[in-house]
């Protein structure tokens, strides 16, 4: 027998179970047959190669593996390693800080559709991102997601509630707390779906509150009068004054006004006109974009008392091309007026008109028009179509505008019924009709 073969036999000796082999490095390697019918080399729980300094250490390890197999506790090293890696990843995920996860969440909502299957608008994503960057990250920073509980959220809510309203410093509500809480709960609920927290904290979102009205101020007080609308129209530079009429009498939103093009106004042989709302000018991107909902896509009859002004505006200020903006930056220009610039123009015009409600916004012209539309007897369905609303709860706010009309109709109905009752009694007894006093009492 050669010296080489003797050396190999001396360095690899089969044990009663398994085998040991001395490596050229001097360390010992153990091998054993697993229950799966495969031969396995000693490995760590992380599935890395395992060798031993002495033969006794290797033999002791081999005996331990033999015992696990006998007790039915043995698992392949790769399975153990996978489980440990998954546990480590889960533990790391549970310890992720708010800032890191919130940034990941913003990227996720930008690329995934919402629950209705539609991609979120750019403006919506930017709004959410502004709440994260402006309020939530400064509040929570690198605090682990799993440490944000109901008590911590209440502390944040108390701080947010103390921020004065920019529109009405005397208001109890600032219009900030609720949208910030909504975004926070969206993030925490996604964290629960991702398995980072067992469940999102049980936090109730406060209802929408009016921030512009003082206590006791009626909802109808943010409605402008006809004279005030006319004053606003007169106070606005002529080439942009049509914005006031479009908002008040066609009930358009700001972005819808700025998104109009010449082709969206259809003139008929009888002199009437139809306005087709098909797009908006996005305040965040500065480009045309789709309307926020399908309900916003609508066709409206232009009130006859503003048709002459609209026709004159198209003639004097709008380029002849079909896609020319109805409210251009310059006379007959091809670029629509921006939301930002209109904000400055509107502010100057509003400040020039006396008697407007506190904090009167351009959007309140739309509210004014829809209120008058309701007073003319429009049904809820007609109000929803005219205003491009998808939620009937929003339209219900205009019911307050019909209460005076409702009382008038109720009184007229009462007077007519009392008159008929009196005539009926008179015909029965042949006596004169009883008198009816001013309060409708017999």
Question: In this structure, what is the dihedral angle of CA atoms 244, 245, 247, 248, given to the nearest 10 degrees?
Answer: 110
112-140 mean pLDDT: 87
| Mean of all residue pLDDT scores within the chain | 84
* Rounded CA separation 274/427 (Å): 54
Ramachandran sector of residue 332 (left: φ over 0; alpha: ψ -120 to 50; beta: rest): left
Residue 138 has a pLDDT of 94
Is 220's pLDDT higher than 60? no
Residue 401 has a pLDDT of 56
Helix/strand/coil for 55? helix
pLDDT single digits (tens) 57-72 = 999 999 999 999 999 9
* Rounded CA separation 223/220 (Å): 6
Residue 411 has a pLDDT of 78
Residue 67 has a pLDDT of 92
Query: Angle at which helices 177-193 and 98-111 pack, to 10 degrees?
Result: 90
* Rounded CA separation 331/304 (Å): 25
Q: Are 47 and 55 in contact (CB under 8 A)?
A: no
Whether this prediction's pTM lies above 0.85 is answered by no
Q: Are 383 and 389 in contact (CB under 8 A)?
A: yes
Residue 163 has a pLDDT of 82
Rg from Cα positions in the chain: 38
* Rounded CA separation 215/173 (Å): 11
Residue 104 has a pLDDT of 92
- Enter the tokens of residue 353: 């008109």
Cβ neighbors of 391 (< 8 A, separation 6 or more) are none
Any long-range contacts for 77-82 (C-beta under 8 Å, 24+ apart)? 77/40, 77/43, 77/44, 77/45, 77/47, 78/47, 80/45, 80/47, 81/45, 81/46, 81/47
119-123 mean pLDDT: 80
332-352 mean pLDDT: 93
* Rounded CA separation 166/212 (Å): 9
**Neighbour count for residue 55 (Cβ, 10 Å):** 15
Is 189's pLDDT higher than 70? yes
Closest CA to 236 of 325, 365, 108, 113: 365
**Neighbour count for residue 337 (Cβ, 10 Å):** 21
- Enter the tokens of residue 190: 């996604």
Is 14's pLDDT higher than 70? no
Is 425's pLDDT higher than 70? yes
Is 218's pLDDT higher than 50? no
SS3 content of the chain, % helix, strand, coil (to 5): 50, 10, 40
Concatenated DSSP letters of 254-305: HHHHHT-BGGGEEE-TTS-EEEEE--EE-TTTSSEE--SSGGG-EEEEPPGG
119-134 mean pLDDT: 87
pLDDT single digits (tens) 236-283 = 999 999 999 999 999 999 999 999 999 999 999 999 999 999 999 988
Q: Are 283 and 123 in contact (CB under 8 A)?
A: yes
* Rounded CA separation 220/367 (Å): 9
């Amino acid at each position: 027998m050669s010296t080489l073969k003797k050396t190999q036999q001396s360095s690899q000796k089969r044990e009663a179970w398994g085998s040991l082999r001395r490596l050229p490095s001097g360390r010992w390697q153990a091998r054993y047959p697993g229950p799966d019918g495969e031969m396995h080399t000693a490995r760590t729980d992380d599935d890395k190669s395992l060798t031993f300094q002495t033969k006794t250490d290797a033999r002791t390890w081999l005996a331990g593996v033999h015992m696990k197999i006998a007790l039915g506790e043995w698992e392949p090293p790769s399975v153990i390693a996978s489980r440990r890696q998954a546990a480590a990843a889960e533990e790391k995920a549970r310890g992720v800080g708010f800032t890191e996860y919130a940034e990941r969440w913003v990227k996720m909502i930008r690329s995934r559709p919402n629950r209705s299957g539609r991609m979120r608008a750019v403006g919506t994503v930017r709004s959410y991102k502004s709440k994260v960057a402006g309020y939530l990250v400064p509040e929570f920073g690198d605090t682990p997601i799993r440490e944000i509980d109901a008590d911590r959220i209440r502390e944040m809510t108390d701080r947010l509630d103390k921020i004065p309203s920019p529109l009405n410093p005397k208001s109890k509500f600032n219009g900030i707390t609720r949208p910030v809480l909504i975004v926070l709960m969206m993030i925490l609920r996604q964290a629960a779906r991702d398995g980072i927290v067992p469940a999102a904290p049980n936090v109730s979102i406060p209802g929408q509150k009016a921030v512009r009205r003082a206590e006791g101020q009626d909802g109808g007080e943010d409605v402008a009068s006809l004279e005030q609308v006319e004053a606003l129209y007169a106070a606005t530079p002529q080439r942009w004054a049509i914005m006031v009429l479009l908002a008040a009498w066609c009930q358009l939103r700001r972005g819808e006004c700025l998104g109009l093009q010449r082709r969206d106004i259809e003139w008929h042989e009888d002199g009437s006109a139809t306005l087709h709302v098909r797009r908006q000018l996005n305040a965040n991107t500065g480009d045309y974009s789709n309307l926020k909902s399908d309900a916003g896509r609508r066709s409206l009859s232009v009130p006859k008392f503003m048709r002459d002004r609209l026709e004159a505006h198209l003639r004097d200020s709008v380029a002849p091309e079909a896609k020319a903006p109805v409210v251009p930056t310059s006379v007959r220009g091809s670029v629509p007026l921006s939301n930002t610039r209109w904000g400055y123009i509107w502010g100057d015009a509003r400040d020039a008109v006396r008697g407007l409600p506190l904090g009167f916004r351009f959007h309140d012209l739309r509210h004014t028009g829809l209120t008058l539309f309701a007073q003319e007897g429009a049904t809820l369905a007609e109000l929803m179509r005219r205003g491009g609303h998808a939620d009937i709860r929003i339209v219900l706010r205009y019911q307050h505008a019909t209460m005076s009309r409702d009382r008038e109709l109720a009184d007229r109905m009462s007077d007519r019924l009392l008159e008929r009752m009196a005539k009926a009694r008179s015909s029965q007894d042949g006596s004169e009709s009883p008198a009816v006093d001013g309060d409708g009492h017999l």
